[in-house]
Copies of this chain bind each other. A is one copy, B any other.
């Protein structure tokens, strides 16, 4: 252990499908170091999680005693490190006493995996977002409204009295990536440009005629061939059509609700723009901050239990 880590108190881990984010935390709950890597669940066998963790933080671990590692995300899935059974809606975001303990070969690690949340009916699941929700509620315990968590699979979550009441997942982000990278439209989307007006028109179009989306997507290809539609417009239209059809379906989640978007990246901005266009004002918080805050809340809870 080097001197810079002598105050290491615990490790926060957001272990998703395609990413791993680690925060080495001191005894004042301040970040000593942040590590981001692409060693997500999908690239690891169950027995590779511990070795991956030791490779990445081993030098920071003390010679004596063990360090709590609090994980959220797909590490807790059936294909992950160790399955953490889901909580059931309606429920508070799962706390540390519901976490799955993972036995490790390395005695310096004391690993906890936080559960996800499930819903039946309508069947739905989340792993990772519940910790962002927990982080948000730690700052806004009296929030009654809706969280929108854009990403590969965008989730809309109805929160009341500190509980997740219901939620709904849309495959929008994944469909966008597949269409831009793997479908015939990849020939029409050749760069990362963006056309705000084209996005706005596509959102409106999809909200008013959701069934037309599959045909309107092919029109983008035809306009590339026949009218030299530029890549920025094509990309923004694909995004607008997919976010638009999602907003049409998610209307009960945003109409007349207090909506907070968890995210500040390009995709989160696209959602807030599309919602503003529909008359729904939203505010945003930074997703990574919410994740870390949720893991901090779990750690605080662990300290209380230990007392």
Contact = CB atoms under 8 A, between A and B. Distances in A.
Interface in A78-101: 78, 86
Contact of A153 (B210, B218, B242): B218
Chain A interface helix/strand/loop/mixed: helix
Contact of A123 (B118, B171, B219, B248): B219
B249 A215 contact: yes
Given A170-B214, A212-B249, A214-B171, A182 B182 contact: yes
Contact of A175 (B120, B210, B214, B225): B214
A293 interface: no
A interface residue count range (under 10 / 10 to 19 / 20 to 34 / 35 or more):
35 or more
A218 B124 contact: yes
A123 B222 CA distance: 5
A183 to B, nearest CB: 5
A182 B178 contact: yes
Contact of A226 (B120, B170, B183): B120
Contact of A170 (B120, B218, B222): B218
A91 to B, nearest CB: 15
A213 B246 CA distance: 9
Contacts of A64: none
A226 B125 contact: yes
Q: Which of A171, A179, A183, A249 has the most CB of B within 10 A?
A: A171
Q: Which of A170, A214, A250 has the most CB of B within 10 A?
A: A214
A223 B170 CA distance: 14
A262 interface: no
Given A210-B211, A215-B169, A227 B184 contact: no
